Chain A
C-alpha cells in the first residue's frame, strides 16, 4: 500500500490508502472567472451539513462578511476589489471584461487620482448612469420588475448625482452591461470573486498529523473528519498549509468540508456545486475536471485573459495536487491562498532524524556529566 510517493509526489490517494477497486477520485473545479459572488454555495453547504451560524459580522472587506474558511464556514466566497490598470493610450483599458472600456472616447481620461488608483483613468462610475440609461432603453416587458416608477426615481437620482459631482456612487446596481453606452462606460475597477473550499489534498497535512485516526481518506480520495472520534487535539489546524480545517469553539472538535461524503456516495452532487447558478463550482471525476480546466484556461488565454491560471491542478506540486482546484485571475495570495504550499510531512523524516541526533546528544551529555570525577 505505502509506496515511494506515499508522503510526497504524484499519487492516487485512495488506492495508496488501501482501497481495493476504489472508484475514480472525485473533486471540485472552481472556475472563478464565472463566479458572481452570490454565496449560494455558502448557504447550501450550511443547509445540507447543518453547519452552525458563524456570527453576523460586518467585516468591512467588500461583500465578504464570512472572512475565511472556519469550522463553521466550509465554503467561503472571497471578494477582491481591484483598480483597473493604467494604459499608454489614456484610455480606460483597465476594464477587466471588455478591453477598452471607452470605445466612444467619451470618458476614461487619465487623471491625477492619488493613492492606489494613481494615474488610472477615472470617470463617472457606471452604475448610476447605466441604471438611468437602462430606464429609458429597456422595453416594457409587462413583468415585474419592468420599467416602473422605481426606475424613474433612479434615473432622477443619477441625474442629480451627475450634476453635483459626476462621480457619486449611490450603491445601486446597474441593469445594463457596463460599457454598452458611452454614458455608462466600463469602470477603472474589477471584481474578483472566488468560492474557497477544502482542497482535499493528495498529501493532506491534516490527515497525516491526526493522532486519533479521526481524519481519514475516503474511497473517493477525499479527506473527512469522523466527528465521533475526533478529540479536539487541534493538531490538524496548524498542519493545513491552506488554513482550512478549524476547531469549533463550543464543540471542541475539528470540522471542515467533507465534499459531501454523504451525498457523493449516493451519486449526488455536493450541495455547493448543486446550488451554484453559474457552474463556477464544478463537481466530477478529477481527471475529467483537470482536462476541462485545461481547456477552459486555454480558451480564456486565447480570448486575451492572459492572467487566467490554474491553481492546485498540478499533481507535481507541494501537496501532490488538490482534489479541489481553481482557475484564478490573479496571484493566489490575492485570494488568501498560499503561492507555493508544501505538505509539512514532506520534511518529517528529516525532522525525526534531527530529533534523533538531538536525543543522542542529550543522552551522551548526561552520561558524560556523570562519568566525570566523583565529588
Chain B
C-alpha cells in the first residue's frame, strides 16, 4: 500500500513545479514575480538549427567585412588589403554556402530556395543577397590568381575581378545585416525583441572581423584604414551589444546566463582587446596580428552568444509568457481578455451533481 502514491501529493508534484502552480496576485505594471505554464514546457519552439547557423552568421559577416576591405584597398591602391580581403571573402563565402546547405533538413533540395523571391521571408531575401554577393566575391577572389595565369586570361580576369569586387562590396552591407532580421523575424523572445539593435551589432561584428583580416595579412604600411575600420567596428559591436544585452528587460536576461552569458562576456573582452590593440599596435606587426585574431574570435563569440541566448529564451516559457502578460496589462483592463479573480471559486460546469 505504501507504494501507491497519495493523490494529493502526486498532484502537487506534477503541477509543473512551484513556479507554475503558485497563483499570481493583483496585476500591476510591475513585472510579475511569477507566472504559470504547462509543466514548465516551452510555449514557442527553439530553432532546430545546429552550430552551422551561428558559424554562418560569422562567415557571412566576415565575407561582407573583408569584401569592403578589399574594395577599399582596390580603390586606394593598397594591394595587400585588396588581396587579403578578396581571398578571405571567397573562402568565407564558400564556407557560408557549406554551412547553409549542411544545416538544411534536406540538403539536396537547397535549390528550392531559389524557387521564389519572397520579401516576407528574410531567409528568401538573404538567399538572393547571398547569391548576388557570392557571384561578385567569387569572381574577385578568383581574379587574385591572375598573376599565375597567361597574359590573355589575366587581361580578361583583372577587370572582371575589379567589377566583381565592387559588386560584392555593394551588396556586403545587406549581407551583413539581413542575418539580424533573419533571427529577429521569429517568435524567439531574445531575438525578436532586440530587433532595433541587432543589425547594428551584426554590422559592427562584420566590420571588425573584416578589418581583422587586414590587420593580420597586410604589412603595417597598409593597415591604417583597417585599423580605423577595426576600431569603428569594435566600438559599434560593443555599443550595440551593450544595448541588446541590457536594454530589453527580461528578454535581455538570457544574454547574461549560461552558455550565452559566457560567450557574450568573452565576446566583449576579445572585441575590446582587439579594438585597443588595433589602436595602439600601429608599428608592431605582432600586436596587429594579435588584435586581428582577438577581433575574429570576438566576432565568433558574439554570433554564437546571440544564437545561444535566443535558444535559451525559447526553451524557458517565462520569456514568452511574462512579456506577453505585461503587454496585456499595459493595454489595460478594457482590452484585456476576461479574467477570473483568483479567489472566486470555479462554479458549476456541465456536469453539475444531480444533473
Q: Which A residues are closer than 8 A to B by beta carbons?
A: 7, 33-34, 59-62, 64, 67-68, 78, 80-87, 93-94, 96-99, 101, 103, 113, 115-117, 122, 125, 164, 167-171, 177-180, 186, 189-190, 205, 208-214, 229-235, 237-248, 251-254, 300, 303-307, 309, 311, 329-331, 333-341, 344-345, 347-348, 350-352, 354-363, 365-370, 372-375
Q: Is B122 on the interface with A (CB-CB < 8 A)?
A: yes
The interface centre, meaning the residue of B43, B186, B314, B346 with most chain A CB atoms within 10 A of its CB, is B346
30 A-B residue pairs with CB within 8 Å: A67-B41, A94-B345, A98-B351, A115-B12, A125-B7, A189-B7, A208-B120, A213-B118, A233-B123, A235-B121, A235-B186, A238-B191, A240-B45, A303-B349, A306-B346, A329-B346, A333-B43, A334-B38, A345-B120, A358-B199, A359-B174, A361-B200, A363-B68, A365-B207, A365-B229, A366-B169, A366-B229, A369-B211, A369-B228, A372-B228
Contact with A along B323-350 (1 / 0, CB 8 A): 0110110000000011110011111111
Instruction: Kindly provide the distance from the CB of B136 to the nearest chain A CB, expressed in whole angstroms.
Output: 15
| B6 at interface, CB cutoff 8 A | yes
Checking B36, B39, B196 against A61 with a beta-carbon cut-off of 8 angstroms, the contacting residue is: B39
Known A116-B11, A209-B120, A231-B104; further 17 A-B contacts with Cβ < 8 A: A61-B39, A97-B350, A179-B353, A190-B346, A230-B106, A231-B112, A239-B185, A244-B45, A246-B45, A307-B346, A329-B346, A333-B317, A340-B327, A345-B120, A347-B184, A354-B196, A366-B68
* Chain B residue, CB-CB nearest to A231: B109
Q: Give complex CA distance A303, B339 in Å.
A: 17
User: Separation in Å of the B352 CB from the closest CB of chain A?
Assistant: 5
A305→B348 contact, CB < 8 A: yes
Q: Are B354 and A338 in contact (CB under 8 A)?
A: no
**B46 contacts A by Cβ under 8 Å:** yes
Task: Compute how far the CA of A240 lies from the CA of B198 in the bound complex, rounded to whole angstroms.
Answer: 20
CB < 8 Å neighbour of B112 from A99, A101, A229, A311: A229
| Inter-chain contact B14/A83, CB cutoff 8 Å | no
Q: How far, in whole Å, are A307 and B338 apart by their CA atoms in the complex? A: 8
- B140 on the interface (CB 8 Å rule)? no
Complex CA gap A229/B112 in Å reads 7
CA–CA, A243 to B106, complex, Å?
A: 21
Instruction: Check if A232 sits within 8 Å of B185, measured CB to CB.
Output: no
Q: Across the interface, do B14 and A61 meet the contact criterion of CB distance under 8 Å?
A: yes
A155 to chain B, nearest CB (A): 17
Chain B residues, Cβ within 8 Å of A212: 109, 112-113, 115-116, 124
Nearest A residue to B210 by beta-carbon distance? A366
Residues on A with beta carbons closer than 8 Å to the beta carbon of B181: 348, 351-352, 355
For the complex formed, measure the closest distance between the CB of B162 and the CB atoms of chain A, giving whole angstroms. Answer: 16
| B42 contacts partner chain A, Cβ-Cβ < 8 Å | yes
Q: Does B99 contact A (CB under 8 A)?
A: no
Across the interface, A351 reaches (CB within 8 A) one of B48, B121, B185, namely: B185
In the complex with contacts A305-B346, A373-B224, A237-B48 CB distance below 8 A: yes
Report the bound CA distance from A321 to B191 in whole Å: 24
Q: Does B49 contact A (CB under 8 A)?
A: yes
Give per-residue flags for B207-246: 1 if the beta carbon is below 8 A from chain A beta carbons, else 0.
Answer: 1000100000000010011101100110010000000000
| B33 sits at the interface (CB 8 A) | no
CA distance A186 to B225 in the complex (A): 79
Interface of A, secondary structure class, is loop
**A371 CB → nearest B CB, Å:** 9
In the complex, the chain A residue whose C-beta lies closest to that of B173 is: A359
CA distance A238 to B183 in the complex (A): 9
Q: Flag whether B21 is at the interface (Cβ < 8 A).
A: yes
Flag if B185 contacts A113 (CB, 8 Å): no
A34 surroundings in chain B (CB, below 8 A): 350
A238: contacting residue among B6, B15, B47, B198, CB under 8 A? B47
Q: Is B290 part of the contact surface with A, judged by Cβ < 8 Å? A: no
CB distance from A223 to the nearest CB of B (A): 13
With A169-B7, A339-B324, A341-B324 given, is the CB distance from A306 to B344 under 8 Å?
Answer: yes
CB of B72 within 8 Å of the partner chain: yes
Q: Are A366 and B104 in contact (CB under 8 A)?
A: no
Known contacts: A344-B186, A359-B199. The answer to whether A97 contacts B121 by CB under 8 A is no
Task: Check if A211 sits within 8 Å of B338, measured CB to CB.
Answer: no
Looking at A68, A103, A171, the one whose CB has the most chain B CB atoms below 10 A away is A68
Q: Which A-chain residue is minimally distant from B339 (CB atoms)?
A: A331
Contact partner, B1, options A87, A168, A178, Cβ 8 Å = A168
Checking B6, B127, B340 against A307 with a beta-carbon cut-off of 8 angstroms, the contacting residue is B340
A251–B348 CB distance below 8 A: no
A238 touches B113 (CB 8 A): no
Q: Tell me whether A240 and B195 are in contact in the complex, defined as CB-CB below 8 angstroms, given that A85-B345, A331-B36 are known contacts.
A: no
Q: Which residue of B lies closest to A310 (CB)?
A: B337
Q: Which residues of B contact A361 (CB under 8 A)?
A: 200, 203, 236
B285 at the interface (CB under 8 A from A): no
CA of A27 to CA of B158 in the docked complex: distance in angstroms?
A: 61
Q: How far in angstroms is the closest Cβ of chain B from A252? A: 3
Q: Does B192 contact A (CB under 8 A)?
A: yes
Say whether B185 contacts A345, CB under 8 Å. yes
Q: How far is the CB of A304 from chain B (nearest CB, A)?
A: 3
Q: Is the CB of B345 within 8 A of A84?
A: yes
**For B207, what are the chain A residues with a Cβ–Cβ distance below 8 Å?**
362, 365-366
> For the complex, what is the distance from the CA of A232 to the CA of B226, rounded to whole Å?
39
- Asked if B38 and A333 make an inter-chain contact with CB atoms under 8 angstroms apart, the answer reads yes
B110 close to chain A: CB less than 8 A: yes
**Docked CA distance A67–B328 (Å):** 27
The answer to whether A247 and B232 touch (CB under 8 A), given A344-B187, A345-B185, is: no
Q: How far apart are the CA atoms of A346 and B130 in the complex, in Å?
A: 25
Known A-B contacts A208-B120, A211-B121, A370-B76; the reply to A358 vs B200 at CB < 8 A is yes
Output the least CB separation between B313 and chain A (Å): 10
Docked pose: A78 CA to B14 CA in angstroms:
13
B199 contacts across to A, CB distance below 8 A: 351, 354-355, 357-359
Q: Which of B43, B69, B324 contacts A336 (CB 8 A)?
A: B43
Which single member of B35, B180, B225 contacts A370 (CB below 8 Å)? B225
Q: Say yes or no: A358-B113 contact (C-beta < 8 A), given A242-B44, A339-B325.
A: no
A260–B49 Cα gap in the complex (Å)? 28
